[in-house]
């Protein structure tokens, strides 16, 4: 692995944490497969940026990670893989009794089912190489839960359990599985909060601020390149909040 180019798949790569992950992995010499749900032009622009700046191969695909047929089509273009970063996801803020069944199912598909779909296709490729790394992007709400974000918290709690169990399953095959549980990160998803709401949130964070996408991406890259004995862990990065 050290003497051959490494390859990573990053879902939800057109913006936010996924976009910064793409830059971090490309800078580290990874050839990339990138996906997003609908922002094709942003993904194409990112692809050109990465290829020009880091001289790596980068392929972008529109893919609904929460749709099994879409993920199957995606993996028809992938014949080798060292690292899988499950970053794609959505949020929902509101009372649980006001949430529709359709919204619940969509959130679970994007946040939880997507991890199963990508892993199902990625693991055979990693088994063929005799090694691999899987990193699932989670949230502190998966650890402690959040009022008005019950469904989101449930999905991320499930991702944490999925991570720990899968790590035990794949450890004998030299495939490490970890998760990064982030506190509030300065992403488009969190810019839906008002300035006053952000101020109230950051007052509770010992670091006194939101985390940056660059910091999140650095942690994910570190997990991809951590010692092989690190597996089954949900690493929390939240500015000291928990």
Q: Annotated catalytic sites, by residue?
A: 152
The pair of structure tokens assigned to 221 is 């890259």
The β-bridge relationship of strands 132-139 and 83-86 is: parallel
Long-range contacts of 204-210 (CB under 8 A, 24+ apart): 204/241, 205/238, 205/239, 205/240, 205/241, 206/239, 206/240, 206/241, 207/239, 207/240, 208/239, 209/239, 210/183, 210/184, 210/185, 210/186, 210/239
DSSP strands (E only) in the chain? 7-10, 31-36, 58-62, 83-86, 132-139, 175-182, 234-237
- What distance in Å separates the CA atoms of residue 211 and residue 185, rounded to the nearest whole number? 4
CB atoms under 10 Å from CB of 130, counted, come to: 10
- What distance in Å separates the CA atoms of residue 110 and residue 158, rounded to the nearest whole number? 13
| Angle (nearest 5°) at CA 91 between 188 and 136 | 90
- What distance in Å separates the CA atoms of residue 122 and residue 76, rounded to the nearest whole number? 11
The pair of structure tokens assigned to 192 is 């839906």
């Amino acid at each position: 692995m050290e003497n051959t180019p490494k390859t990573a798949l990053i879902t939800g790569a057109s913006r936010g944490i996924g976009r910064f992950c793409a830059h971090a992995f490309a800078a580290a010499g990874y050839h990339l497969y990138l996906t997003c749900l609908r922002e094709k032009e942003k993904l194409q622009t990112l692809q050109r940026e990465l290829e020009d700046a880091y001289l790596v191969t980068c392929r972008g695909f529109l893919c609904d990670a929460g749709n099994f047929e879409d993920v199957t089509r995606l993996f028809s273009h992938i014949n080798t893989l060292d690292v899988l970063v499950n970053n794609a996801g959505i949020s929902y803020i509101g009372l649980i009794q006001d949430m529709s069944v359709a919204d619940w199912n969509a959130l679970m598909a994007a946040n939880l089912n997507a991890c199963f779909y990508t892993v199902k296709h990625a693991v055979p490729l990693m088994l063929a190489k005799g090694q691999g790394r899987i990193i699932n992007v989670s949230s502190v709400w998966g650890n402690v839960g959040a009022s008005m974000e019950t469904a989101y918290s449930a999905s991320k709690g499930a991702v944490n359990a999925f991570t720990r169990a899968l790590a035990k399953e794949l450890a004998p095959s030299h495939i490490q599985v970890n998760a990064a549980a982030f506190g509030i990160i300065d992403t488009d998803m969190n810019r839906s909060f008002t300035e006053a709401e952000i101020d109230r949130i950051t007052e509770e964070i010992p670091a006194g601020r939101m985390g940056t996408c660059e910091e999140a991406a650095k942690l994910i890259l570190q997990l991809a390149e951590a010692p092989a004995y690190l597996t089954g862990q949900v690493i929390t990065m939240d500015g000291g909040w928990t």
